[in-house]
Amino acid sequence: MATDSRRSPSTASSPLRRGRSPAGFVVLAALGVALVALPLLGLVLRTPWSRIAEILTNETALTALRLSLIVATTAAAISFVLGFPLAWVLVRSTFPGKTLVRAIVVLPLVMPPVVAGVGLLAAFGRRSGLVGSWLYDWFGIQLTFTTAAAVLAATFVSFPLAVLALEAGLRGLDERLEDAASTLGASRWYVLRRVTVPLLGPQIAAALVLSWARALGEFGATITFAGNLQGRTQTLPLAVFEQLQTDTDAAFAVSMLLIFLAFAVILGLRGRFLR
Amino acid sequence: MTLAVDVTSRRGAFEVRAAFEAEAGRTVALLGPNGSGKSTLVSTIAGLVPPVEGAITLDAAVLDDPANDVHVQPERRPIGVVFQDLLLFPHLSAMENAAFPLRARGVTKPEARRRASELLARLGLANRADARPRELSGGEAQRVALARALIVEPALLLLDEPLSALDVAARMRVRELVRDELARFPGVRIIVTHDPVEASILAERLVLLEDGRVTQIGTPEEIRSAPRSRYAADLVGVNAVRGVLEPIGEGTGRLISSEGTLVAPWPEWYVEGEVVGIVRPIDVTLWPDRPEGSARNVLSGRVTSVAIEGDRARVRLATEPQLVAEVTLGSVERLGLRPGVEVWASFKAVEVELLPP
């Protein structure tokens, strides 16, 4: 009866027990924090602060930054545009195979990114891709090694985050407010625009920010599917990887920039994860 | 203008079947206990739950007719609804809430705001126009919801439990306001409530709904003088027993219900079927032992509750059928009436008034 004893009022409401954590836990918790904090500290210490302005304004870094912003923003936008209707369908309708659909959509979250890249090649590759060969033969469109491929790779990994955030939002929405709106003369479109979307504001923001951040950091799928071409597919993480082999200082400086962007994202979520 | 409702609606396993009419200028109250199907009926009239059978018409306009595949969408019905929990839009100000139906119909923003301001001012909310719903008191929120329902001057005003969310003090004030607004509203007016006092103050006509069925329709006076169900009888404070009659001679009959049997005078109009026997609590006499005498109805049972009202007490008895007796405080003391005590109740056959169902 472990659950019973945990719920019993004498332990749950005891102020003495609340404030005190087992000593072993404190040690393990501190180890956990160190695990995350040490690399951050290392980065801060190894970053060539005196050269950082010079490194980040050189051609390679600027090109990668610009490309990263384009790729991440486009991926987040696509994730939202496709994710909102999908979340809607998953929350508000029932159809056979719904569980399977959700499992497939969420899979990229736990899939090794390099496998995602291989999968994208299998689907959109020019020569043997399921859709890619057809696109090439009929329209002469080649996705691999283009910015579009980098966007596709980033979207693939960030889409589930957008869907999950929007699904949670829609699930928590009081549908009766939408019913009330329709009795007040609002068409379905008007209800969506004036009631549903505004009420989901925070969740929509979370979906955009999370998918943007995930897209910004994508490495494995991008390098596998889109390659590492400066100006076309070389996003910031790819630039870090390349520079690590040639100019370590530059690698640390660009890493610091990515950390800064990630930190901005967390602040942008207004402490959603900090409380 | 007349709203005619004759529908069967389902929500899950629960089925509501109701038929009634409501004319413009006369408020109709749908009155029933919780779970009687009032909310389902409101949703059906509002167009949110399409009926499975029957029809809803507003004069010549058919709003629902499932047999002919007619279902007018909620947004196309000329109905203003105030929902039980109001459902104000939390992200919009009081003014924007009130202006919402106008904006949804394409009225320009300045015009919508002007008309919303006017209406809010009439409802005494001129200085709360910019407040969000969570900043409003219960009574203020109620008035914003009313403004939102009234602003497009609908043909039908539907108020679902308009006062249930308010505390006692606010309820008195808002009840006056609701009554005034109902009085000046020219269309069909329907309020839904579980409170008989509210119903008889606000409405001229009552539709009693029990367990998904209409059990009685009439003015408060009609229902008071001739309740036709246990619920209606409870509302007006009398005992009602529904059953069939069987003659036992000497101008009397036996009223046989599933809960017990009473002796009553044989009504000349009776042919067959169910009737309702009314016994007024004041006519029920209580005794410590089996009474001697001429009363034809003598029942025994335990006291289940004693409610004191002024110098009198209403005593509920677990007799068969169950009864309420009204006695003096002296009797309560003399008979030692309290829950659990065994007593005898008696009343004459002529004190059972039989009514057609």
Looking at domain B2-225, its CATH class is alpha beta
Domain extents for chain A? 51-268
Q: Which CATH number fits domain B237-355: 2.40.50.100, 2.40.10.120, 1.25.50.10, 3.40.190.10?
A: 2.40.50.100
Q: Over the stretch A170-224, which tens digit does the pLDDT of each residue have?
A: 999 999 999 999 999 999 999 999 999 999 988 998 899 989 999 998 999 999 9
Mean pLDDT of B341-345: 92
Which residues in A35-53 are b (16+ Cβ under 10 Å) and which e?
eeeeeeeeeeeebeeeebe
Tell if the pTM clears 0.90, that is, is over it.
no
Which residues on A lie below 8 Å from B72 (Cβ)? none
Q: Over the stretch B1-53, which tens digit does the pLDDT of each residue have?
A: 899 999 999 988 899 999 999 999 889 999 998 889 998 999 999 999 999 99
Mean pLDDT of chain B: 90
Which residues on B lie below 8 Å from A200 (Cβ)? none
User: Do the chains contact at B87 and A177, CB–CB below 8 Å?
Assistant: yes
- Predicted confidence band at A18 (pLDDT cuts at 50, 70, 90)? low
Residue A15 confidence (pLDDT): 52
Q: Over the stretch B133-188, which tens digit does the pLDDT of each residue have?
A: 999 998 899 999 999 999 999 999 999 998 887 887 788 788 888 888 898 899 99
Residue A5 confidence (pLDDT): 42
Query: Across the beta sheet with B239-249, what order do the strands follow?
Result: B260-265, B252-257, B239-249, B274-279, B352-355
Q: In the predicted model, is pLDDT for residue A2 greater than 50?
A: no
Q: In the predicted model, is pLDDT for residue B230 greater than 80?
A: no
Q: In the predicted model, is pLDDT for residue A3 greater than 60?
A: no
Residue A12 confidence (pLDDT): 46
Q: In the predicted model, is pLDDT for residue A10 greater than 80?
A: no
% of chain A surpassing 70 pLDDT: 91
Contacts 24+ apart (CB under 8 A), B318-323: B319/B260, B319/B345, B320/B259, B320/B260, B320/B261, B321/B239, B321/B241, B321/B257, B321/B259, B321/B260, B321/B262, B322/B239, B322/B259, B323/B239, B323/B279, B323/B281, B323/B284, B323/B299
User: Do the chains contact at B89 and A183, CB–CB below 8 Å?
Assistant: no
Residue predicted with more confidence, B86 or A136: B86
Q: Over the stretch A57-98, which tens digit does the pLDDT of each residue have?
A: 888 888 889 999 999 999 999 999 999 999 999 999 989 999
Which residues on B lie below 8 Å from A179 (Cβ)? 43, 48, 74, 87
The nearest CA of chain A is from the CA of B352 a distance in Å of 48
Mean pLDDT of chain A: 86
User: Do the chains contact at B152 and A185, CB–CB below 8 Å?
Assistant: yes
Residue A19 confidence (pLDDT): 67
Round to whole Å and give the CA distance between B10 and A272: 42
Q: Over the stretch A247-261, which tens digit does the pLDDT of each residue have?
A: 888 889 889 989 888
Q: In the predicted model, is pLDDT for residue A111 greater than 60?
A: yes
Round to whole Å and give the CA distance between B61 and B40: 22
Q: Over the stretch B176-202, which tens digit does the pLDDT of each residue have?
A: 888 888 988 999 999 999 888 788 888
User: Do the chains contact at B74 and A179, CB–CB below 8 Å?
Assistant: yes
User: Do residues B296 and B349 make contact, with C-beta atoms less than 8 angstroms apart?
Assistant: yes
Residue predicted with more confidence, B320 or A131: B320
Mean pLDDT of B332-340: 89
Q: Which CATH number fits domain A51-268: 1.10.3720.10, 3.40.50.300, 1.10.1380.10, 1.10.1040.10?
A: 1.10.3720.10
Which residues on B lie below 8 Å from A190 (Cβ)? 104
Mean pLDDT of B240-248: 87
The nearest CA of chain B is from the CA of A77 a distance in Å of 24
The partner residue sitting opposite B89, judged by closest CB among A177, A182, A201, is A177
Q: How far from the centroid of its chain's Cα atoms is residue A161's Cα?
A: 6
Respond yes or no on whether ipTM tops 0.85: no
- Predicted confidence band at A161 (pLDDT cuts at 50, 70, 90)? very high
The nearest CA of chain A is from the CA of B311 a distance in Å of 46
Residue predicted with more confidence, B191 or A50: B191
Q: In the predicted model, is pLDDT for residue A272 greater than 60?
A: no
Which residues on B lie below 8 Å from A180 (Cβ)? 81, 83, 87, 89
The nearest CA of chain B is from the CA of A189 a distance in Å of 10
Residue B225 confidence (pLDDT): 78
Which residues on A lie below 8 Å from B149 (Cβ)? 184
Domain extents for chain B? 2-225, 237-355
Residue B77 confidence (pLDDT): 94
Q: Look at residues A105, A81, A212 and name the one whose alpha carbon lies nearest to residue A160.
A: A105
Residue A52 confidence (pLDDT): 86
Mutation pick from B40, B71, B75 vs chain A, by most beta carbons of A within 10 Å, is B75
% of chain B surpassing 70 pLDDT: 100
What residues contact B29, with CB distance under 8 A and at least 6 apart? B190, B191, B192, B193, B198, B199, B200, B202, B203, B205, B206, B207
Residue predicted with more confidence, B22 or A1: B22
Q: In the predicted model, is pLDDT for residue B298 greater than 50?
A: yes
